[in-house]
Amino acid sequence: MPWIDACATDDVDEEDLIRWDHGTQTFAIFHSPEGEFYATAGRCTHEEVHLCDGLVMGHLIECPKHNGQFDYRTGEAKRTPVCVNLRTFPVKVEGGRVYVEVA
Amino acid sequence: MGKRDYSPFGADAKRAVDTGLTAAEWYHTDVPRKVMKDLMARSDGPAIRDTIILYGSMIVLAGIGIALWPSWWSAPFWLAYGVLYGSASDSRWHECSHGTAFRTPWMNNAVYQIASFMIMRNPATWRWSHARHHSETYLVGRDPEIAVMRPPELAKLILNFFGILDVIAFIPRILRNAVSGPTPEERTFVPESEWPKVRRAARIHVAIYGATIALAVWMGSILPLMVIGLPRMYGAWHHIMTGLLQHGGLADNVVDHRLNSRTVLMNPISRFIYWNMNYHVEHHMFPMVPYHALPRLHEIMKPDLPPPNRSIAEAFAEMWPAFKRQILNEDYFLKRDLPPTAKPYREDFHQYVPGMMRPAAAE
Protein backbone atom coordinates (compact mmCIF):
# COMPACT_ATOMS: atom_id res chain seq x y z
CA MET A 1 0.00 0.00 0.00
CA PRO A 2 1.34 3.48 -0.80
CA TRP A 3 2.44 5.92 1.86
CA ILE A 4 0.94 9.31 1.05
CA ASP A 5 2.30 12.61 2.31
CA ALA A 6 -0.72 14.00 4.17
CA CYS A 7 0.43 17.10 6.05
CA ALA A 8 3.18 18.71 8.08
CA THR A 9 3.38 17.80 11.74
CA ASP A 10 2.85 21.49 12.53
CA ASP A 11 -0.49 21.45 10.73
CA VAL A 12 -2.17 19.57 13.57
CA ASP A 13 -2.21 21.06 17.05
CA GLU A 14 -1.53 18.75 19.95
CA GLU A 15 -4.74 17.07 21.17
CA ASP A 16 -6.52 18.02 17.97
CA LEU A 17 -7.23 16.76 14.48
CA ILE A 18 -7.51 17.96 10.91
CA ARG A 19 -9.39 16.74 7.89
CA TRP A 20 -7.37 15.31 5.03
CA ASP A 21 -8.90 14.34 1.70
CA HIS A 22 -7.18 12.01 -0.72
CA GLY A 23 -8.82 10.94 -3.95
CA THR A 24 -12.37 10.01 -3.13
CA GLN A 25 -11.55 9.25 0.51
CA THR A 26 -11.63 11.54 3.50
CA PHE A 27 -9.57 11.02 6.64
CA ALA A 28 -8.98 12.47 10.07
CA ILE A 29 -5.40 12.95 11.21
CA PHE A 30 -4.84 13.20 14.95
CA HIS A 31 -2.04 14.56 17.10
CA SER A 32 -2.16 12.96 20.54
CA PRO A 33 -1.14 14.67 23.80
CA GLU A 34 1.99 12.48 23.77
CA GLY A 35 2.99 13.84 20.38
CA GLU A 36 2.03 10.75 18.37
CA PHE A 37 0.09 10.93 15.09
CA TYR A 38 -2.83 8.73 14.06
CA ALA A 39 -5.16 8.50 11.08
CA THR A 40 -8.72 7.23 10.85
CA ALA A 41 -11.59 7.33 8.40
CA GLY A 42 -12.93 10.87 8.37
CA ARG A 43 -16.62 10.25 8.91
CA CYS A 44 -18.44 9.00 11.98
CA THR A 45 -19.78 5.47 11.59
CA HIS A 46 -23.13 6.57 13.01
CA GLU A 47 -24.39 9.12 10.50
CA GLU A 48 -21.47 10.03 8.27
CA VAL A 49 -20.77 13.37 9.94
CA HIS A 50 -17.15 14.41 9.47
CA LEU A 51 -15.15 14.21 12.66
CA CYS A 52 -12.95 17.20 11.81
CA ASP A 53 -15.20 19.59 13.77
CA GLY A 54 -15.24 17.32 16.82
CA LEU A 55 -13.46 17.66 20.11
CA VAL A 56 -10.35 15.63 20.96
CA MET A 57 -10.15 14.75 24.64
CA GLY A 58 -7.05 12.74 25.43
CA HIS A 59 -7.31 9.76 23.11
CA LEU A 60 -10.99 10.18 22.33
CA ILE A 61 -12.54 11.96 19.39
CA GLU A 62 -16.10 13.08 19.90
CA CYS A 63 -18.40 13.34 16.89
CA PRO A 64 -19.58 16.97 16.61
CA LYS A 65 -23.17 15.94 15.95
CA HIS A 66 -24.21 13.33 18.51
CA ASN A 67 -21.32 12.91 20.91
CA GLY A 68 -20.47 9.41 19.74
CA GLN A 69 -16.86 8.78 20.79
CA PHE A 70 -14.01 6.72 19.39
CA ASP A 71 -10.52 5.92 20.60
CA TYR A 72 -8.70 7.29 17.57
CA ARG A 73 -5.66 5.09 18.27
CA THR A 74 -7.65 1.90 17.73
CA GLY A 75 -10.88 3.14 16.15
CA GLU A 76 -12.86 1.49 18.95
CA ALA A 77 -16.38 2.88 19.44
CA LYS A 78 -16.55 4.08 23.05
CA ARG A 79 -19.89 5.83 23.47
CA THR A 80 -23.30 5.52 21.88
CA PRO A 81 -24.78 6.39 19.46
CA VAL A 82 -21.75 4.95 17.69
CA CYS A 83 -21.76 1.16 17.68
CA VAL A 84 -19.41 0.45 14.76
CA ASN A 85 -15.66 0.95 15.10
CA LEU A 86 -13.83 3.54 13.05
CA ARG A 87 -11.33 2.35 10.44
CA THR A 88 -7.73 3.25 11.23
CA PHE A 89 -4.73 3.65 8.94
CA PRO A 90 -0.99 3.27 9.61
CA VAL A 91 0.91 6.52 10.03
CA LYS A 92 4.61 7.40 10.01
CA VAL A 93 6.39 10.70 10.56
CA GLU A 94 9.50 11.56 8.55
CA GLY A 95 11.20 14.90 8.20
CA GLY A 96 8.40 16.81 9.82
CA ARG A 97 5.79 15.30 7.50
CA VAL A 98 2.95 12.91 8.35
CA TYR A 99 2.50 9.98 5.97
CA VAL A 100 -0.60 7.80 5.86
CA GLU A 101 -0.66 4.33 4.36
CA VAL A 102 -3.82 4.51 2.33
CA ALA A 103 -5.55 1.27 1.54
CA MET B 1 -46.80 20.41 0.19
CA GLY B 2 -50.31 19.83 1.47
CA LYS B 3 -51.22 17.32 4.16
CA ARG B 4 -48.19 16.16 6.14
CA ASP B 5 -47.65 12.52 7.04
CA TYR B 6 -45.63 12.27 10.25
CA SER B 7 -45.45 8.48 10.31
CA PRO B 8 -41.90 7.10 10.06
CA PHE B 9 -43.35 4.65 7.55
CA GLY B 10 -45.29 7.29 5.57
CA ALA B 11 -44.92 9.10 2.27
CA ASP B 12 -43.13 12.14 3.67
CA ALA B 13 -40.50 10.02 5.39
CA LYS B 14 -39.88 8.16 2.15
CA ARG B 15 -39.74 11.37 0.16
CA ALA B 16 -37.22 12.90 2.58
CA VAL B 17 -34.92 9.96 1.91
CA ASP B 18 -35.57 9.73 -1.83
CA THR B 19 -34.95 13.43 -2.48
CA GLY B 20 -31.69 13.45 -0.56
CA LEU B 21 -33.08 15.71 2.13
CA THR B 22 -31.93 13.41 4.92
CA ALA B 23 -28.40 13.36 3.50
CA ALA B 24 -28.19 17.11 2.84
CA GLU B 25 -25.51 19.15 4.54
CA TRP B 26 -26.87 21.61 7.10
CA TYR B 27 -25.88 25.23 7.23
CA HIS B 28 -23.33 26.20 9.88
CA THR B 29 -22.18 29.61 10.95
CA ASP B 30 -18.44 30.05 10.57
CA VAL B 31 -16.80 29.90 13.97
CA PRO B 32 -12.98 29.70 14.10
CA ARG B 33 -11.72 26.28 15.14
CA LYS B 34 -9.80 27.53 18.17
CA VAL B 35 -12.83 29.44 19.42
CA MET B 36 -15.06 26.41 18.92
CA LYS B 37 -12.63 24.13 20.75
CA ASP B 38 -12.68 26.53 23.66
CA LEU B 39 -16.48 26.61 23.64
CA MET B 40 -16.75 22.82 23.48
CA ALA B 41 -14.35 22.29 26.39
CA ARG B 42 -15.96 20.26 29.17
CA SER B 43 -16.14 21.15 32.82
CA ASP B 44 -17.79 19.52 35.83
CA GLY B 45 -18.05 22.69 37.89
CA PRO B 46 -21.14 24.46 36.50
CA ALA B 47 -23.24 21.28 36.30
CA ILE B 48 -22.23 20.08 39.79
CA ARG B 49 -23.20 23.47 41.18
CA ASP B 50 -26.53 23.46 39.32
CA THR B 51 -27.27 19.85 40.26
CA ILE B 52 -26.67 20.52 43.95
CA ILE B 53 -28.98 23.55 43.75
CA LEU B 54 -31.61 21.56 41.85
CA TYR B 55 -31.72 18.41 43.94
CA GLY B 56 -31.14 20.34 47.17
CA SER B 57 -34.10 22.60 46.39
CA MET B 58 -36.26 19.61 45.51
CA ILE B 59 -35.48 17.90 48.82
CA VAL B 60 -36.26 21.04 50.81
CA LEU B 61 -39.46 21.85 48.90
CA ALA B 62 -40.78 18.29 49.03
CA GLY B 63 -39.88 18.10 52.71
CA ILE B 64 -41.90 21.23 53.50
CA GLY B 65 -44.72 19.99 51.27
CA ILE B 66 -44.84 16.69 53.18
CA ALA B 67 -44.63 18.47 56.54
CA LEU B 68 -47.56 20.74 55.70
CA TRP B 69 -49.61 18.02 53.97
CA PRO B 70 -52.63 17.93 53.62
CA SER B 71 -53.01 21.65 54.33
CA TRP B 72 -53.41 23.98 51.37
CA TRP B 73 -50.37 25.81 52.78
CA SER B 74 -48.33 23.04 51.21
CA ALA B 75 -49.54 23.95 47.68
CA PRO B 76 -46.90 26.60 46.81
CA PHE B 77 -44.15 24.22 47.83
CA TRP B 78 -45.58 21.44 45.68
CA LEU B 79 -45.92 23.82 42.74
CA ALA B 80 -42.28 24.86 43.01
CA TYR B 81 -41.17 21.25 43.54
CA GLY B 82 -43.28 20.19 40.58
CA VAL B 83 -41.57 22.60 38.20
CA LEU B 84 -38.16 21.31 39.23
CA TYR B 85 -39.34 17.70 38.91
CA GLY B 86 -41.56 17.96 35.85
CA SER B 87 -39.70 20.65 33.89
CA ALA B 88 -36.08 20.97 34.99
CA SER B 89 -35.79 17.21 34.48
CA ASP B 90 -36.50 17.79 30.79
CA SER B 91 -33.46 20.02 30.34
CA ARG B 92 -31.27 17.75 32.47
CA TRP B 93 -32.36 14.76 30.43
CA HIS B 94 -31.58 16.75 27.31
CA GLU B 95 -28.14 18.07 28.19
CA CYS B 96 -26.99 14.81 29.72
CA SER B 97 -28.17 12.84 26.68
CA HIS B 98 -25.75 14.97 24.70
CA GLY B 99 -23.06 14.11 27.23
CA THR B 100 -22.01 17.74 27.46
CA ALA B 101 -23.30 18.86 30.87
CA PHE B 102 -20.48 17.29 32.88
CA ARG B 103 -16.93 16.47 31.92
CA THR B 104 -17.12 13.19 33.87
CA PRO B 105 -19.13 10.56 31.95
CA TRP B 106 -20.63 8.81 34.99
CA MET B 107 -22.06 12.11 36.22
CA ASN B 108 -23.75 12.68 32.85
CA ASN B 109 -25.15 9.16 32.95
CA ALA B 110 -26.37 9.37 36.54
CA VAL B 111 -28.25 12.63 36.03
CA TYR B 112 -29.52 11.34 32.66
CA GLN B 113 -31.04 8.24 34.26
CA ILE B 114 -32.66 10.20 37.10
CA ALA B 115 -33.99 12.89 34.76
CA SER B 116 -35.32 10.29 32.30
CA PHE B 117 -37.28 8.68 35.09
CA MET B 118 -38.74 11.97 36.30
CA ILE B 119 -39.68 13.19 32.81
CA MET B 120 -41.17 9.75 32.02
CA ARG B 121 -38.96 8.81 29.11
CA ASN B 122 -37.30 5.50 28.56
CA PRO B 123 -33.60 6.44 28.78
CA ALA B 124 -32.58 3.74 26.33
CA THR B 125 -35.09 4.87 23.69
CA TRP B 126 -35.01 8.61 23.91
CA ARG B 127 -31.26 8.87 23.59
CA TRP B 128 -31.73 7.60 20.05
CA SER B 129 -34.79 9.65 19.20
CA HIS B 130 -32.91 12.75 20.20
CA ALA B 131 -29.95 11.82 18.00
CA ARG B 132 -32.40 11.64 15.09
CA HIS B 133 -33.93 14.95 16.14
CA HIS B 134 -30.53 16.53 15.72
CA SER B 135 -29.68 14.81 12.45
CA GLU B 136 -32.99 15.52 10.81
CA THR B 137 -34.50 18.38 12.74
CA TYR B 138 -38.12 18.91 11.76
CA LEU B 139 -37.93 16.77 8.64
CA VAL B 140 -41.49 15.49 8.43
CA GLY B 141 -41.74 11.75 9.03
CA ARG B 142 -38.09 11.50 10.05
CA ASP B 143 -37.80 13.56 13.22
CA PRO B 144 -39.53 11.64 16.06
CA GLU B 145 -39.51 14.70 18.35
CA ILE B 146 -41.68 17.14 16.43
CA ALA B 147 -43.61 18.81 19.25
CA VAL B 148 -46.23 20.52 17.11
CA MET B 149 -47.39 18.65 14.07
CA ARG B 150 -49.30 20.56 11.42
CA PRO B 151 -52.07 21.39 11.47
CA PRO B 152 -51.57 22.19 15.16
CA GLU B 153 -54.13 20.80 17.59
CA LEU B 154 -54.26 23.64 20.08
CA ALA B 155 -56.42 21.76 22.58
CA LYS B 156 -53.77 19.04 22.79
CA LEU B 157 -51.04 21.61 23.27
CA ILE B 158 -52.94 23.15 26.14
CA LEU B 159 -53.63 19.75 27.75
CA ASN B 160 -49.95 19.02 27.64
CA PHE B 161 -49.17 22.03 29.79
CA PHE B 162 -50.39 19.65 32.49
CA GLY B 163 -48.56 16.67 31.02
CA ILE B 164 -51.83 14.90 30.34
CA LEU B 165 -51.17 13.58 26.87
CA ASP B 166 -47.53 12.82 27.55
CA VAL B 167 -48.41 10.75 30.60
CA ILE B 168 -51.28 9.01 28.84
CA ALA B 169 -48.87 8.08 26.04
CA PHE B 170 -46.13 7.08 28.46
CA ILE B 171 -48.05 4.49 30.47
CA PRO B 172 -48.83 1.97 27.69
CA ARG B 173 -45.47 2.57 26.05
CA ILE B 174 -43.40 1.87 29.16
CA LEU B 175 -45.49 -1.22 29.89
CA ARG B 176 -45.01 -2.44 26.34
CA ASN B 177 -41.27 -1.68 26.51
CA ALA B 178 -41.10 -3.67 29.75
CA VAL B 179 -42.74 -6.67 28.16
CA SER B 180 -41.46 -6.70 24.58
CA GLY B 181 -38.83 -3.99 24.16
CA PRO B 182 -39.13 -1.09 21.72
CA THR B 183 -42.29 -0.48 19.72
CA PRO B 184 -42.16 -0.82 15.89
CA GLU B 185 -41.81 2.97 15.58
CA GLU B 186 -39.00 3.02 18.10
CA ARG B 187 -37.23 0.25 16.22
CA THR B 188 -36.82 2.64 13.27
CA PHE B 189 -34.26 4.64 15.25
CA VAL B 190 -33.05 2.37 18.08
CA PRO B 191 -30.42 -0.16 16.92
CA GLU B 192 -31.19 -3.78 17.69
CA SER B 193 -28.14 -4.06 19.95
CA GLU B 194 -29.83 -1.57 22.30
CA TRP B 195 -33.22 -3.26 22.51
CA PRO B 196 -32.41 -5.22 25.71
CA LYS B 197 -31.54 -1.92 27.41
CA VAL B 198 -34.95 -0.54 26.46
CA ARG B 199 -36.65 -3.45 28.19
CA ARG B 200 -34.43 -3.33 31.27
CA ALA B 201 -34.89 0.42 31.80
CA ALA B 202 -38.66 0.09 31.35
CA ARG B 203 -38.82 -2.65 33.99
CA ILE B 204 -36.95 -0.47 36.49
CA HIS B 205 -39.33 2.45 35.86
CA VAL B 206 -42.38 0.24 36.14
CA ALA B 207 -41.07 -1.26 39.39
CA ILE B 208 -40.56 2.19 40.97
CA TYR B 209 -44.00 3.40 39.93
CA GLY B 210 -45.53 0.15 41.13
CA ALA B 211 -43.88 0.54 44.54
CA THR B 212 -45.02 4.18 44.77
CA ILE B 213 -48.61 3.28 43.94
CA ALA B 214 -48.52 0.39 46.42
CA LEU B 215 -47.27 2.75 49.13
CA ALA B 216 -50.03 5.25 48.30
CA VAL B 217 -52.66 2.50 48.57
CA TRP B 218 -51.17 1.23 51.83
CA MET B 219 -51.11 4.78 53.28
CA GLY B 220 -54.55 5.61 51.87
CA SER B 221 -53.06 8.86 50.59
CA ILE B 222 -51.82 10.32 47.31
CA LEU B 223 -48.87 11.83 49.14
CA PRO B 224 -46.30 9.35 47.71
CA LEU B 225 -47.55 10.23 44.22
CA MET B 226 -47.20 13.93 44.98
CA VAL B 227 -43.49 13.20 45.37
CA ILE B 228 -43.07 10.67 42.52
CA GLY B 229 -45.12 10.68 39.34
CA LEU B 230 -47.72 13.42 39.67
CA PRO B 231 -45.20 16.31 39.53
CA ARG B 232 -44.61 15.24 35.93
CA MET B 233 -48.12 16.64 35.41
CA TYR B 234 -48.54 19.52 37.83
CA GLY B 235 -45.02 20.80 37.12
CA ALA B 236 -44.88 20.20 33.36
CA TRP B 237 -46.02 23.63 32.28
CA HIS B 238 -42.60 25.27 32.21
CA HIS B 239 -40.95 22.71 29.97
CA ILE B 240 -43.93 22.72 27.63
CA MET B 241 -43.85 26.51 27.54
CA THR B 242 -40.17 26.64 26.67
CA GLY B 243 -40.28 23.50 24.53
CA LEU B 244 -42.96 24.83 22.21
CA LEU B 245 -40.81 27.87 21.54
CA GLN B 246 -37.91 25.77 20.28
CA HIS B 247 -39.35 25.22 16.82
CA GLY B 248 -43.02 26.26 17.01
CA GLY B 249 -44.43 28.09 13.98
CA LEU B 250 -41.13 27.91 12.10
CA ALA B 251 -40.20 26.06 8.91
CA ASP B 252 -40.01 22.31 8.49
CA ASN B 253 -38.13 20.32 5.85
CA VAL B 254 -35.24 22.78 5.69
CA VAL B 255 -31.52 22.33 6.35
CA ASP B 256 -30.78 25.60 8.10
CA HIS B 257 -31.43 25.80 11.83
CA ARG B 258 -31.93 29.54 11.56
CA LEU B 259 -35.16 28.70 9.73
CA ASN B 260 -36.51 25.99 12.00
CA SER B 261 -35.27 26.91 15.49
CA ARG B 262 -35.82 29.86 17.79
CA THR B 263 -33.57 31.62 20.28
CA VAL B 264 -35.42 33.44 23.06
CA LEU B 265 -33.85 35.65 25.70
CA MET B 266 -35.44 34.89 29.07
CA ASN B 267 -35.23 35.47 32.79
CA PRO B 268 -32.51 33.77 34.86
CA ILE B 269 -34.91 31.45 36.72
CA SER B 270 -36.30 30.07 33.48
CA ARG B 271 -32.78 29.77 32.13
CA PHE B 272 -31.80 27.73 35.20
CA ILE B 273 -34.80 25.44 34.78
CA TYR B 274 -34.21 25.23 31.04
CA TRP B 275 -30.41 25.01 31.32
CA ASN B 276 -29.83 27.68 28.66
CA MET B 277 -31.67 25.81 25.93
CA ASN B 278 -33.32 29.11 25.10
CA TYR B 279 -30.26 29.53 22.86
CA HIS B 280 -31.78 26.94 20.62
CA VAL B 281 -30.47 27.89 17.19
CA GLU B 282 -26.99 27.91 18.66
CA HIS B 283 -27.57 24.55 20.37
CA HIS B 284 -28.83 22.87 17.21
CA MET B 285 -26.06 24.21 15.04
CA PHE B 286 -23.35 23.23 17.53
CA PRO B 287 -24.83 20.56 19.83
CA MET B 288 -21.50 19.71 21.45
CA VAL B 289 -21.19 23.12 23.08
CA PRO B 290 -22.18 22.66 26.77
CA TYR B 291 -25.14 24.59 28.10
CA HIS B 292 -22.97 26.87 30.21
CA ALA B 293 -21.07 28.07 27.11
CA LEU B 294 -24.16 28.85 25.03
CA PRO B 295 -24.39 32.52 26.07
CA ARG B 296 -20.83 33.00 24.80
CA LEU B 297 -21.64 31.13 21.59
CA HIS B 298 -24.72 33.32 21.15
CA GLU B 299 -22.60 36.48 21.26
CA ILE B 300 -20.24 35.04 18.64
CA MET B 301 -23.03 33.86 16.31
CA LYS B 302 -25.35 36.82 16.73
CA PRO B 303 -24.33 38.59 13.50
CA ASP B 304 -25.35 35.50 11.52
CA LEU B 305 -28.69 34.80 13.21
CA PRO B 306 -32.17 36.29 13.11
CA PRO B 307 -32.64 38.60 16.11
CA PRO B 308 -33.72 36.54 19.15
CA ASN B 309 -37.10 37.04 20.73
CA ARG B 310 -36.59 39.31 23.70
CA SER B 311 -38.85 37.47 26.13
CA ILE B 312 -41.04 34.38 26.49
CA ALA B 313 -44.11 36.58 26.10
CA GLU B 314 -42.82 38.14 22.90
CA ALA B 315 -41.97 34.73 21.47
CA PHE B 316 -45.46 33.40 22.27
CA ALA B 317 -47.00 36.50 20.69
CA GLU B 318 -45.13 35.57 17.54
CA MET B 319 -45.71 31.80 17.67
CA TRP B 320 -49.32 31.37 18.76
CA PRO B 321 -50.87 33.29 15.83
CA ALA B 322 -48.68 31.23 13.51
CA PHE B 323 -50.18 28.06 14.99
CA LYS B 324 -53.65 29.42 14.33
CA ARG B 325 -52.76 30.20 10.73
CA GLN B 326 -51.32 26.71 10.29
CA ILE B 327 -54.68 25.23 11.23
CA LEU B 328 -56.03 26.62 7.96
CA ASN B 329 -52.83 26.46 5.95
CA GLU B 330 -50.35 23.77 6.88
CA ASP B 331 -47.66 25.31 4.70
CA TYR B 332 -47.61 28.59 6.56
CA PHE B 333 -44.57 29.29 8.69
CA LEU B 334 -42.70 32.21 10.20
CA LYS B 335 -39.61 33.29 8.38
CA ARG B 336 -37.50 35.73 10.31
CA ASP B 337 -35.34 38.36 8.63
CA LEU B 338 -31.61 38.03 8.93
CA PRO B 339 -29.36 40.96 9.82
CA PRO B 340 -27.24 42.42 7.00
CA THR B 341 -24.18 40.76 8.51
CA ALA B 342 -25.64 37.24 8.10
CA LYS B 343 -25.11 34.82 5.27
CA PRO B 344 -28.41 34.50 3.38
CA TYR B 345 -30.72 31.52 3.67
CA ARG B 346 -30.10 28.86 1.04
CA GLU B 347 -33.20 29.82 -0.91
CA ASP B 348 -32.02 28.12 -4.10
CA PHE B 349 -31.51 24.84 -2.32
CA HIS B 350 -34.76 25.04 -0.40
CA GLN B 351 -36.71 25.81 -3.54
CA TYR B 352 -35.02 23.16 -5.64
CA VAL B 353 -35.58 20.09 -3.50
CA PRO B 354 -39.14 18.76 -3.86
CA GLY B 355 -41.17 18.75 -0.71
CA MET B 356 -39.10 21.42 0.95
CA MET B 357 -39.84 24.97 2.02
CA ARG B 358 -41.95 27.02 -0.29
CA PRO B 359 -41.02 30.66 0.25
CA ALA B 360 -44.41 31.71 -1.10
CA ALA B 361 -45.98 30.18 1.99
CA ALA B 362 -44.02 32.44 4.29
CA GLU B 363 -44.74 35.99 5.13
pLDDT at B317: 97
Q: To the nearest whole angstrom, how far is the Cα of A67 from the nearest Cα of chain B?
A: 6
User: Which residue out of B288, B289, B291 would a mutagenesis test of the A interface target, given it has the greatest number of A Cβ atoms within 10 Å?
Assistant: B288
Least confident of B84-93, B177-186, B284-293, B344-353: B344-353
A23-78: pLDDT as tens digits: 889 999 999 999 999 999 999 998 778 999 999 999 999 998 888 899 999 999 99
Least confident of B146-160, B252-266, B314-328, B345-359: B345-359
**Nearest residue in chain A measured CA to CA from B99:** A67
**Nearest residue in chain B measured CA to CA from A63:** B288
Asked if the ipTM is above 0.85, the reply is: no
B213-244: pLDDT as tens digits: 999 999 999 999 999 999 999 999 999 999 99
A64 touches chain B (CB under 8 A): yes
**Nearest residue in chain B measured CA to CA from A46:** B131
B244-297: pLDDT as tens digits: 999 999 999 898 999 999 999 999 999 999 999 999 999 999 999 999 999 999
- CATH code for position A91: 2.102.10.10
Do the chains contact at A67 and B41, CB–CB below 8 Å? no
pLDDT at B352: 43
Report domain extents, chain B: 1-30+237-363, 44-135+162-235
B11-68: pLDDT as tens digits: 889 888 888 888 788 899 999 999 999 999 999 999 999 999 999 999 999 999 999 9
Where does the pLDDT of residue A80 fall: very low under 50, low under 70, confident under 90, or very high at 90 and above? confident
Residue numbers of the domain that contains A13: 3-101
CA distances B63 to B58, B60, B272, Å, are 8, 5, 22
Q: To the nearest whole angstrom, how far is the Cα of A92 from the nearest Cα of chain B?
A: 25
Domain count, chain A: 1
- Is pLDDT of B306 > 50? yes
Query: A35-40 contacts: CB < 8 A, separation 24 or more?
Result: A36/A73, A37/A9, A37/A12, A37/A91, A37/A93, A37/A98, A38/A72, A38/A73, A38/A88, A38/A91, A39/A6, A39/A88, A39/A89, A39/A90, A39/A91, A39/A98, A39/A100, A40/A70, A40/A72, A40/A75, A40/A86, A40/A87, A40/A88, A40/A89
- Is pLDDT of B313 > 80? yes
